[in-house]
Amino acid sequence: MKLRRTTWSLVLAGALAMSAACSPGTGGGGGGDGKSFEFWSFTAINQKASVDAYRDKHPDVEVKLTEVGTSTETAQALTTALAGGKVPDLVLIQGDDLPKFVQQPQNFVDLRTLGADDVKGDYLDWVMGQSTAKGGEVVGIPTDVGGMAVAYRTDLFAAAGLPTDRDQVSALWPTWEAFIETGKRYTQATGKAFVDNAATSVFSQAVNQGAQKYYDDGGELIYATNPEVKAAFDVGVKAATAGITAKQPSFSSGWSAGMAQGQFATLAAPSWMLNAIRSNAPDTKGKWDIAKVPGEWGNWGGSYLAIPKGAKNPQAAWSYIKEMQSPQGQLEHFVRSGALPSTPSVYKDDKMAFAKDEFFSNAPTGTIYTDSLLGLKPFRIGPDTSAINQELGNAIANVEQSGGNAATAWDDAVRNTKTAIGK
């Protein structure tokens, strides 16, 4: 999933959000009938479509949906609400923000008390494990995962003399180094930027392909010593200095305009990004296609629905979770938005297996994104994952946009990260 502006910190603050922030409600206010509830989400993931679908099936239920802001802003608002006691009945939490809440399970309804034990087998084990506390409490139910790919403009590729067939395009970049070299070919032929920016489209995807990320399997911080993180950072810096980026931070106004105007030909396309492309560049329908991500597999993103302790309508919120995040509910959401289900039983369903997205030149999105999970080795996500993402991305953006020293960027990033998280 999503979020905005002109600096990398804003990008990471909302990798799943896309419009201006709204103010959260006062909390704790469902309809009072035991069936209605208040729901906080972050922006730009079209949660309203799911809420509308639920309302259509349950016209007697009122759902007060508030899009608080970016994913990070939503997590911050939730932290404040938990401290103050005025909480929503249901809240969407982005995966990188979840661990700090899982460390405080007493702040949430243990979903086992509402029936989570009966449904947790529906979800990918490693995804469900991320929302389970040490004592076994289930803090959240997963809504989606973020299989990865690259979206590209077929018309711009053709103008550059590059192939446009998705299989041939995928073959151009078996590695991130090959992706950068393809970018150089494109820019040399057209004089235009190949990719929107290095921090999101290169680093953020590459760093989510390792067997480990910022934490080892035991929960110890390894971001400064993990060679997979360093390799992803280095390829991000290489892209930033290759002269192939539009220097447009994801979800900024310039990024949205550039996408619509064809100022860059490729961008990172984890499954949740597809709706962002449709929303920001509706007139480019049929000009996009989707290729495999360099390295072919990986996962970036995914979110969870949780019920804060103190919610006035927990049963109503659970009824929504149970229905809308069931395998069938997630399959229907995939059809509506392209978000990749966290329920593997639907991966072979015809609606996924044969799904084609007309906006993206009839790309077989169900196959592309489920295939991107096949080689996945899940890594541990910890309480400082979001902050580390931000600092490493900031360092790459500084090189790309502000002339920062590429030679010292890694050391600068590690130093700034230690300052930010105190570790």
Q: Which of 173, 149, 71, 145 is nearest to 378 (CA)?
A: 145
User: CA of 165: how far to CAs of 158, 261, 268, 357, 386, in Å?
Assistant: 10, 22, 18, 15, 36
Kindly report the number of other CB atoms within 10 A of residue 60's CB atom. Answer: 9
Q: What angle do CA 294, 395, 379 make, to 5 degrees?
A: 50
At 281-301, the pLDDT tens digits run 999 999 999 999 999 889 998
pLDDT value at position 275? Answer: 86
At 90-137, the pLDDT tens digits run 999 999 999 999 999 999 999 999 999 999 999 999 999 999 999 999
Partners of 142 in the β-ladder: 304
Largest CA distance in the chain: 64
pLDDT value at position 338? Answer: 84
The 3-class SS string of 235-262 reads: HHHHHHCCCCECCCCCCCHHHHHHHHHC
How many Å apart are CA 308 and CA 89, to the nearest integer? 6
At 334-368, the pLDDT tens digits run 988 888 999 999 999 999 999 999 999 999 999 99
The two three-digit tokens of residue 31, written as one number:
């309809």
How many Å apart are CA 4 and CA 278, to the nearest integer? 16
At 232-273, the pLDDT tens digits run 999 999 999 999 999 999 989 999 999 999 999 999 999 989
pLDDT value at position 21? Answer: 30
- SS3 at position 195: strand
CATH architecture of 149-298+377-421: 3-Layer(aba) Sandwich (3.40)
pLDDT value at position 313? Answer: 97
Please report which helix (H) or strand (E) contains residue 365, including its range. helix 365-371
The two three-digit tokens of residue 266, written as one number:
């490729």
Please, are residues 342 and 272 in contact by the beta-carbon 8 Å criterion?
A: no
Which pTM does this prediction carry? 0.87
- The torsion angle over the Cα atoms of residues 14, 98, 302 and 311, rounded to 10 degrees, is -90
Any idea how long the chain is?
Answer: 423
Positive or negative, the CA dihedral 334, 69, 71, 64 is: negative
* 46-50, 63-67, 276-280: the lowest-pLDDT one: 46-50
Over pLDDT 70: what percentage of the chain?
92
The predicted model gives 205-214 an average pLDDT of 95
The predicted model gives 210-221 an average pLDDT of 94
Instruction: Determine the topology of domain 8-145+301-346 in CATH.
Output: D-Maltodextrin-Binding Protein; domain 2 (3.40.190)
**Which residues of the chain form CATH 3.40.190.10?**
8-145+301-346, 149-298+377-421
Write the DSSP string, 125-178: HHHHHTTB-TTS-B-EEE--B-B-EEEEEHHHHHHTT---SHHHHHHH-SSHHH
Average pLDDT, the chain: 91
pLDDT level of residue 32 (50, 70, 90 thresholds)? low
Over pLDDT 90: what percentage of the chain?
82
Burial of 348 (0-12, 13-18, 19+ CB in 10 A): exposed
Please report which helix (H) or strand (E) contains residue 79, including its range. helix 71-84
pLDDT value at position 50? Answer: 92
pLDDT level of residue 28 (50, 70, 90 thresholds)? very low
How many Å apart are CA 279 and CA 260, to the nearest integer? 10
How many Å apart are CA 72 and CA 64, to the nearest integer? 21
Indicate whether 312 pLDDT > 50. Answer: yes
At 156-207, the pLDDT tens digits run 999 999 999 999 999 999 999 999 999 999 999 999 999 999 999 999 999 9
